[in-house]
A and B are shown apart, each in its own frame.
Chain A
Amino acid sequence: MDVKKYFERVSEKVDNMSDKDFLDLLKKAGIDECPLAEEFRGSYKLKDNGLKKNLNYGVKKYKATNNNIRVAA
């Protein structure tokens, strides 16, 4: 099984790319369809009712609850 070697190859190829090639690769992989980082965080918070509810209990509880939320991203 060559999974480690597989990722080493990927890593090496990414390292050896010019910035232009790297950005072209991201484009081909679909970066244009990804949400803006800031927008993504915003909607993540607003969509989660449990998180909104727990905001009322202060920072400490907010952090504990936030750790338990699973997001597919």
Chain B
Amino acid sequence: MENNSDLELCDYQCVCFHGHTKEVIDNIIETKSFNDSIKDWEWLGDGVYFFERHFNHAKNWCIKARKYDKWSTVEANITTEKMLDMIDPDNFDEFKKITSKIRNRYSQSGGIKKVTTKLIFNLVHIVENYDAVRHSFSVGEHEECIYPTNMVKMGIQICVRNHDCIDILKEVGMNGC
């Protein structure tokens, strides 16, 4: 069912960072290839996850979220003309509409599973493929925001489906080696 979409989505080119254990990063550098992340918490669907532009997001993810003893990151250029940009409010609204449609139809068919955004992105990609998707996230707990405007620290994640969009530049910021 997978289709090679002829549609131009968003042009995108940016330096991004992918963090992991030192062992995995060594393997990426050596083989010049990535494995898709397919864990339940991958909110943008299956693919290779990057933090856009800022190395410290990747570093903090390794240290604070995953608590790796020995970590490292890969710097890469991501280039595509088929980016699904969820930060664009119009795109977000379109995604929300298709999410509601899929959830309603699944529910009407007696479905009892939680329809996650990971599932929706996987489904959308099967129906009409794209190269990558990007969206913003807030970093840390709500208590860490700055009052009185509830200002929060933000980051942008990229989930890359088409590995041809990834041009590995170098390993950066390793520790414990």
Contact = CB atoms under 8 A, between A and B. Distances in A.
SS of B interface (majority) = mixed
Nearest to B10: A1
A3 B91 contact: yes
A70 B142 contact: yes
A7 B94 contact: yes
Interface in B63-117: 84-85, 88, 90-91, 94-95, 97-98, 101-102, 105-106, 109, 111-117
Interface stretch (B16-24, B51-59, B118-126, B169-177): B118-126
SS of A interface (majority) = helix
Interface residues of A, number: 36
Interface in B121-154: 122-124, 126-128, 130, 137-138, 142
Contacts of B142: 68-70
A5 to B, nearest CB: 6
B105 A6 contact: no
A30 B118 contact: yes
Contact of B109 (A6, A9, A10, A22): A22
A38 B109 CA distance: 17
A7 B97 contact: yes
A40 B40 CA distance: 12
A23 B123 CA distance: 11
A14 B94 contact: no
A70 to B, nearest CB: 6
B90 A73 contact: no
Interface of B: 1, 5, 7-10, 40-41, 43, 46, 84-85, 88, 90-91, 94-95, 97-98, 101-102, 105-106, 109, 111-120, 122-124, 126-128, 130, 137-138, 142
Q: Which 7 A-B pairs rank lowest in CB-CB distance, beginning with the nearest?
A: A29-B123, A29-B122, A7-B94, A2-B7, A34-B113, A40-B114, A72-B43
Given A6-B94, A9-B7, A22-B106, 4 more contacts: A6-B7, A14-B105, A19-B109, A35-B113
Interface of A: 1-7, 9-11, 13-15, 19, 22-23, 25-26, 28-40, 68-70, 72-73
